[in-house]
Amino acid sequence: MHNQTLAVVLAGGLARRMGGGDKPLRLLAGRPLLDHVLERLTPQVAEVVLNANGDPGRFAAWGLPVVADSIPDYAGPLAGVLAALDWAAAHRPQLPWLVSAAGDCPLLPPNLVARLHAARAAAGTPLACVASDAQTHPPVGLWPVSLREELRAALLAGERRIDRWTARHGCATATWPAQPYDPFFNANAPEDLAAAEEILASGGAAPHMPSVFDLRESR
């Protein structure tokens, strides 16, 4: 199903625990967090877009479409998902599915998209999300583009909780073990970057793809 699935990296958060700014641009093992997310996610889908607010030029080096929230006042990850669903409907109508991933999750599993589709199909639900052991991670999930108007209506009515909205429509869960490391580990604070670097150094690395830093240095 990878050729029917668009991915969005949710990079529109306020990063308060990181001191503000863009978390995906913070360095992990000498490369932006965003590089780590993309190298794990890109091979699994047809295309990737970024959800970010403000000047899109700060992500220009990656050469990806940048879509901003259409719901004002930083309405959270659901607004980023809606922005990507709208982009898919307008620009990639041949892609009926969207996978969302947080821009601070550098350890995503290589079978993420396949397992989300399998969980959704097995459960007969329109949506799927992930869990590691008993902990769910609602921002990482599978969404049908066909539900975008229902999501828009919920956001305009004030809904901000991902799990509460997905439960209304039916949401399967694909579960991974959290050992030897949690594949949905997210870097919320500076000390988390150090912990993620230890995981990568101990063998939790994905096959290396050239980063924008590598490309710049080779010019």
Which candidate, 211, 217, 219, 215, places its Cα nearest to that of 28?
Answer: 211
Using 50, 70 and 90 to split pLDDT, how confident is the model at 21? low
Which range of 3-12, 94-103, 177-186, 201-210 scores highest in mean pLDDT? It is 94-103
Token match 């992990």: residue?
28
Say whether pLDDT at 176 is over 80. Answer: yes
* CA 179/CA 86 separation, integer angstroms: 36
Whole-prediction pTM: 0.88
Return the CATH number of the domain spanning residue range 2-218.
Answer: 3.90.550.10
* CA 35/CA 27 separation, integer angstroms: 9
Give the containing element (helix H, strand E) for 165: helix 162-169
pLDDT at residue 219, as a whole number: 30
* CA 50/CA 89 separation, integer angstroms: 15
Looking at the chain, the whole-number percentage of residues with pLDDT higher than 70 is 88
pLDDT at residue 172, as a whole number: 98
Which candidate, 75, 72, 76, 48, places its Cα nearest to that of 62?
Answer: 48
pLDDT at residue 201, as a whole number: 87
Q: 15-29, 30-44, 102-116: which has the minimum mean pLDDT? A: 15-29
Say whether pLDDT at 15 is over 80. Answer: no
Do 7 and 115 touch, CB atoms closer than 8 A?
no
Say whether pLDDT at 185 is over 70. Answer: yes
pLDDT at residue 211, as a whole number: 38
Using 50, 70 and 90 to split pLDDT, how confident is the model at 191? confident
Q: 77-86, 157-166, 199-208: which has the minimum mean pLDDT? A: 199-208
* CA 129/CA 174 separation, integer angstroms: 6
Mean pLDDT of the chain: 88
pLDDT at residue 207, as a whole number: 42
| Domain boundaries, given as residue ranges, for the chain | 2-218
Say whether pLDDT at 34 is over 60. Answer: yes
- Tell me the pLDDT tens digit for each residue of 95-133: 999 999 999 999 999 999 999 999 999 999 999 999 998
